[in-house]
Amino acid sequence: MKKNIVKQSIIGCAIVLFISTSATAMTQQSRTIDNIGGLGIQTYTPTDDSYLNSINEINGNLPVMNLRNGGTGDFWFAQIVIKFDLTNLTSDDLIKSANLNIFYYDYSDANPSGRSYNAYRFEGDWNEETIYADIAPPYSSESSSIAICPNNPGNWITWNVTNDVNGFASGDIANYGWILKDEQYWGGAGIPNAYCRTKEQGTNAPYLEIETYTLNKGILIGKIEQLNTQGALTTFNAVKLRCITFSPFSFNTYTQGEKITVTTDKIGILNTNFAFGLFTIAT
């Protein structure tokens, strides 16, 4: 009985804390919480997609784009370039995941199964009607994501570009799309050449799938570990954590190692050992 009274008192204190300090918290948060996550899951098709090659062809109107290493002398390279219109994303959208998907339908020469394809973020603008290798804009020196070619054609290749899309949404990074490259050296003949669909093909066109966080207000009470804050999100692991959420109402117990993410809209205590107060929980 005494334990229940203490627990109810703690919850009551958290609610009072929320009511008395909510006006202050709203002025401190860096993003408008009510608008975050409004997109749910959205799928985008490219505005531009093509591939670059060593003979400087313009390939933006083709139904196919290739991925191939340059081999000896780096002469036979084929590199995919792709871009999406993401102007509907704003700094109020917290991106949970963003995956670039391209359909691999055939190959020539050696089987490209298991080969690594790097995605690099472009740092300048371009369009598919004019781009070729010698005039392609510069791109980031660090790979944004690596994808592995499937064992067989007829499958999607997927790059996790969540960090880039978060930057696009926040306005910290300009969105010029990506260049995809096979950088595993091939020293002989028969360079693996993966054929992929473009938007011109229609069927199995490339797409970018973006999922935003679903948010809910809740009271968190308990022990946590591995606190990690990046921008508007704070992630931590539960040790022994209780959570009461509203709309809909629920009471949950997080077990050891379960990951919880909250936004900047939080009132209470949050440190490397303990969470207590009212938080906006991102799931």
**How confident is the model over 54-70, as pLDDT tens digits?**
999 999 999 999 999 99
**How confident is the model over 167-177, as pLDDT tens digits?**
999 899 999 99
pLDDT confidence of residue 215: 87
pLDDT band at 39 (very low <50, low <70, confident <90, very high): low
Contacts of 151 (CB under 8 A, 6+ apart): 113, 114
Number of Cβ atoms within 10 Å of the Cβ of 65: 28
What is the rounded distance in angstroms from the CA atom of residue 273 to the CA atom of residue 24? Answer: 25
Instruction: Note the pTM of the prediction, 2 decimals.
Output: 0.80
Q: Between vectors from CA 253 to CA 251 and to CA 259, what angle results, nearest 5°?
A: 115
pLDDT band at 38 (very low <50, low <70, confident <90, very high): low
What is the rounded distance in angstroms from the CA atom of residue 65 to the CA atom of residue 49? Answer: 8
pLDDT band at 15 (very low <50, low <70, confident <90, very high): very low
Over residues 119-128, mean pLDDT: 98
Specify the residue for token string 């022994």. 240
Please choose, from the candidates 144, 174, 172, 171, the residue with its C-alpha nearest in 3D space to the C-alpha of residue 158: 144
Q: Which of 122-126, 139-143, 164-168, 250-254 has the lowest mean pLDDT?
A: 250-254
Number of Cβ atoms within 10 Å of the Cβ of 189: 10
What is the rounded distance in angstroms from the CA atom of residue 283 to the CA atom of residue 281? Answer: 6
Q: Which helix (H) or strand (E) holds 281?
A: strand 274-282
pLDDT band at 256 (very low <50, low <70, confident <90, very high): confident
Residue 250 has pLDDT above 50, yes or no: yes
Over residues 1-17, mean pLDDT: 40
**How confident is the model over 67-119, as pLDDT tens digits?**
999 999 899 999 999 999 999 998 888 899 999 999 999 999 999 999 999 99
pLDDT band at 230 (very low <50, low <70, confident <90, very high): confident
Q: Six-digit token pair at 65?
A: 């784009």
Evaluate whether 77 touches 65 at the Cβ level (below 8 Å): no
pLDDT band at 1 (very low <50, low <70, confident <90, very high): very low
Percent of the chain with pLDDT over 70: 86
